[in-house]
Structure 1
Amino acid sequence: MQHDLTLTGHGVRLVPLAPEHAPGLAAFVDDRVWAGMSSPLPVGVAGWEAEVEQARRSPGRIALAVLDAGTGEVRGSTSFYDLDLRVGRVEVGHTFYAPRWWGGATNPACKHLMLRHAFEEWGCVRVALRADTRNTRSVGAITRLGAVPEGVLRSHRLAPDGSRGDTAYFSVLADEWPAVRDGLLARLGGADR
């Protein structure tokens, strides 16, 4: 879906995912980074150009490139999807980062910006996040955000190799957002910048 949403803070800048981000993504995404995704690993710049175009064409998906706010380096990508403002809900996902950014401030920074936008700009009452249960790194990252586990959907995912997987669902509700926000800001070293 074409959009102009840009979010900036905590050293990252989220901008509309575009073809010019394909080379940066192709440079670091490998099997380890792509683990838990339900589509085949894009290969090379051409593969990433096609992946970017598909993300941009997906109805209801607001695909974002994650850039270093200072250098413009592509750190990864993330998306809003399943947005329904009438009901007040959205999901956050399709998230991956270069391994050098794992375990640092990139994910909490992005999630703070996205959750703040969902709750404070769109007026959402629920933001959901999910991950393949086999992807323990992603499940742990979502847990550390302060999202509440809701359960597991069994045999919910189909991996590119044909295996079936379970999906762990989490959410943050509007009345939980202040505590989640404060936890994210504490991880990021203080006040919103």
Structure 2
Amino acid sequence: MQWLKPMPLVGHFITLEVLSLHHIDELKHAVLDGESWKLWYANVPSPEQMHSYVERAIIEAKNGNSAFAVRCNSSHKIVGTTRFYNVDAQHQRALLGYTWYAKAARRSPVNTECKLLMLKYLFDTHNAIAVEFRTHFFNQQSRKAIARLGAKQDGILRSHQITRDGSIRDTVVYSIIASEWPAVKNHLLNKLKYT
């Protein structure tokens, strides 16, 4: 039985829609804003790779993961994507990642509310024990964003992966555990200022 069932998560600023093939064109448009796929340390698809990127995410969702398209409620535009992956129902934990946004959505409430919705779904709805975040050692923007959420750095997996350009990635691992969730939730709600 699937622990995390794919379902839309609705917030004030954004809606996380279950990722489907009909999101591809909007995601292609979103990724053009900022051209994040050109960052050597980021794992963001180019417009040409978007179809296979979405297809893979949908296939992985059938194995217990959940992928979302991020829609801005005010503009009704898709501004990025995110997902739960390596979902471990037995140990009640998941990784949260594959997150990228159009440049227009950065430095806005989008990421904060996105993570709040996903973390509430994990901890409040499914009683998760922990959630994990992973990013490239050199992705300072991502590392700062994860730390701003209230996640704590667990360590660095050295020479962890071979990246698409052939370089070796050191992966920084962060987590939020269940006992930390109430304080993290209050922190995120305070940042969003709609409590």
Q: What is the TM-score when the length of structure 1 is the normalising length? A: 0.90
What corresponds to 1:84 in structure 2? 88
What corresponds to 1:112 in structure 2? 116
CA RMSD of aligned residues (A): 2.0
Alignment partners' CA distance in 2, 1:133 and 1:103: 21
Alignment partners' CA distance in 2, 1:77 and 1:167: 21
How do 1:22-37 and structure 2 match up within 5 A? 22-29=24-31, 32-34=35-37, 35=39, 36-37=41-42
* Equivalent pair of 1:38/1:157 in contact (CA under 8 Å): no
State the shift of 1:38 in Å: 4.4
State the shift of 1:70 in Å: 3.5
Alignment partners' CA distance in 1, 2:8 and 2:183: 24
What corresponds to 1:171 in structure 2? 175
State the shift of 1:26 in Å: 1.1
Matched, 1:63 2:67: yes
* Count of residue pairs the alignment pairs up: 188
* Equivalent pair of 1:8/1:69 in contact (CA under 8 Å): no
Secondary structure of 2:156's aligned partner: strand
State the shift of 1:82 in Å: 1.4
Match of 2:16 among 14, 22, 27: 14
* Equivalent pair of 2:36/2:42 in contact (CA under 8 Å): no
What corresponds to 1:102 in structure 2? 106
* Equivalent pair of 2:6/2:66 in contact (CA under 8 Å): no
Q: What is the TM-score when the length of structure 2 is the normalising length? A: 0.89
* Equivalent pair of 2:160/2:169 in contact (CA under 8 Å): yes
Matched, 1:161 2:165: yes
Identical-pair percentage: 34
Letter in 1 for 2:12: H
State the shift of 1:32 in Å: 4.7
Letter in 1 for 2:92: G
State the shift of 1:52 in Å: 0.8
Higher share of residues assigned helix: 2
